[in-house]
């Protein structure tokens, strides 16, 4: 394995110095290590190593200095079906040997989203335990959600509607929800106590959330989710809130026409930002670092559809504008992370994708 520190050529695009109206000159874009097969999620073990999942059910620990990659053993059986597979991975910063990962898991009612916790001992997972297996199983391969985040000593995870939109408003279904656990996998006593909601449910009315990040200034959980035809959203997650899908949406049917009753209703929380047309967002991170000081306090969002990295400007804690800072250079951007050194790390969700670093 190797770190590509010289410009990398893909087709007619040269990865190296890249300029745009926002990203400054002499920003390097480099692939770290060998190609990856549809990488999906990543998190840092320490300053020198990162965990990266592949959708097909593999997990790797990659050395950020030399690109050396070691496959992690001890994973469960993963259903690689459609959009499902081994998806997000998250390291507990307080105890980096404790990790969580989200994946597509078979059950009696089909395949649905599951979350495991485990210990990382060297290159092997031990003491593996499934702490959540969603009850909205399906034979289809759409809308697993599957982003993870930690805030305030709790683990948050997203569950997609699995393409069966009506269940996102069904109280007893995990479909279209954000779930919340203690870091040991138990249920928090202060989860919302709403009639007929599952005890792990923190919010409802989501379609397919594949980006989640902790706002370091407010400790709020921010989430973005795929809309249908138009109507991708950024939402700030509140306990017990309902975000309206599919009763309200800023998108429309793929065949054309309004979805539900319109874009907004008093009983539902409105998004703080929408994309029309859709950008197919995936992965996001708040930037807080020294390498790109002009990005501090702003939000980085990956786009699958436009193969771009977006920088979202904030004012008074809410989005106000956006810019594309990397476009069609590495393929479909699936995940975004910021290292302790301030470099920006990206995953390219392609059959011959990879882990990339933006740095100066």
Active site residues: 143
Tokens of 45: 């073990």
Check: CB of residue 249 under 8 Å from CB of residue 296.
Answer: no
Burial of 82 (0-12, 13-18, 19+ CB in 10 A): middle
């Amino acid at each position: 394995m190797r770190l590509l520190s010289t410009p990398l050529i893909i087709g007619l695009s040269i990865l190296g110095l890249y300029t745009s109206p926002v990203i400054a000159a002499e920003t390097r874009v480099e692939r770290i290590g060998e190609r990856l097969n549809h990488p999906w999620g990543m998190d840092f073990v320490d300053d020198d190593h990162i965990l990266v999942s592949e959708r097909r059910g593999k997990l790797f620990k990659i050395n950020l200095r030399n690109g050396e990659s070691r496959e992690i053993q001890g994973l469960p059986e993963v259903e690689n079906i459609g959009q499902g597979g081994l998806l997000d991975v998250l390291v507990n910063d307080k105890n980096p040997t404790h990790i969580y990962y989200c994946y597509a898991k078979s059950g009696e009612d089909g395949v649905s989203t599951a979350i495991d916790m485990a210990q990382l001992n060297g290159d092997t997972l031990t003491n593996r335990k499934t702490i959540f297996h969603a009850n909205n199983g399906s034979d289809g391969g759409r809308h697993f959600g599957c982003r993870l985040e930690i805030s305030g000593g709790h683990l948050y995870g997203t569950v997609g509607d699995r393409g069966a939109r009506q269940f996102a408003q069904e109280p007893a279904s995990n479909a279209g929800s954000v779930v919340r656990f203690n870091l040991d996998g138990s249920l928090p006593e202060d989860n919302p106590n709403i009639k007929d909601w599952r005890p792990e449910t923190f919010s409802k009315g989501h379609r397919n959330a594949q980006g989640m990040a902790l706002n370091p200034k407010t400790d709020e959980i921010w989430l973005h989710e795929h809309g249908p035809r138009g109507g991708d959203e950024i939402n700030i997650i509140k306990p017990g809130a309902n975000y309206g899908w599919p009763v309200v949406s800023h998108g429309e049917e793929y065949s054309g026409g309004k979805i539900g009753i319109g874009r907004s209703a008093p009983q539902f929380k409105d998004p703080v930002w929408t994309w029309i047309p859709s950008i197919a967002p995936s992965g996001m991170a708040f930037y807080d670092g020294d390498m790109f000081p002009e990005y501090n306090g702003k939000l980085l969002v990956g786009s699958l559809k436009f193969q771009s990295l977006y920088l979202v400007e904030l004012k008074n804690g809410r989005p106000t504008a956006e810019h594309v800072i990397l476009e069609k250079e590495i393929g479909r951007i699936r995940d975004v992370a910021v290292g302790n050194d301030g470099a920006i790390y990206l995953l390219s969700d392609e059959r011959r994708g990879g882990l990339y670093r933006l740095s100066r």
